[in-house]
Structures are given as C-alpha cells and as structure tokens.
Amino acid sequence: MKFLGKSLHIANSGKLIARSDKTPSPGGIVFDSNKNKIGKVNYVFGPTKKPYVSIQLFKSANRKQIQKKCGEKLFVSKPKSKKPKKRRMKPRHKK
C-alpha cells in the first residue's frame, strides 16, 4: 500500500476528489487511514506534478463520515492484473 494523498471533498456526482503527489494507476483500491476500503481510482486529471484523483466510492462506504474527515490521508494499492486469455488454435483440415 502506498500513500495516495489527502481527500478534498465529495463532488456533486458522488465521487471523492483527492490531491496526490504521484500519478496513481486507474483501478487501484483506495483505503483510508484506518485501512478501510473506500473505493477505486476512477480518473486522474490536472497537472502532472500534483494531479487530482477522482475516486468512485463503494456502496459500503459511509459518505457522511468521509465528508466530515476532509483532509484525511488516503492510501492506494495496485490494481489486480488480468491474466491474458489463451488463444485457441484453429483446427487444421486434412485434405
């Protein structure tokens, strides 16, 4: 788990906006300082040195508590890598 940044506010769309020091990869799971899952990194925008991060909150996350704790430290884990699918060989026809 790596340090993501600090939470700023919840936007009208329901997404949590945070300010980060590094660019996180989309799809990473976001945790609060108590190691509770909050959501997933949805979109990264703004300047490259200190980008803003849009976080899609999980349904289980308590939005009122998160809104009260603005400025809280957030952490991110790497997104799960998808295994590549094996290609199926075409059957050869005998002549």
- CATH number for 51: 2.40.10.230
How much is the pTM? 0.79
- Say what the pLDDT of residue 17 is: 95
Is 85 inside a domain boundary?
A: no
Number of folded domains that form the chain: 1
Q: Quick one: pLDDT at residue 92?
A: 75
Say yes or no to pLDDT of 87 above 80. no
Is 69 contained in some domain?
Answer: yes
Quick check: is 37 in a domain?
Answer: yes
pLDDT band at residue 93 using 50, 70 and 90 as cut-offs: confident
The CA distances from residue 84 to 14, 24, 81, 87, in Å, are 33, 22, 9, 9
pLDDT tens digits along 36-54? 999 999 999 999 999 999 9
Of the candidates 25, 27, 22, 76, the residue with the CA atom closest to the CA atom of residue 56 = 27
Residue 4, classed as helix, strand or coil, is: strand
Q: How far apart are CA 40 and CA 87, in angstroms?
A: 30
The pLDDT score that the predictor gives to residue 18 is 95
Inside any domain, residue 92: no
What tokens were used for 33?
Answer: 């300082």
What is the rounded average pLDDT of the residues 57-73?
88
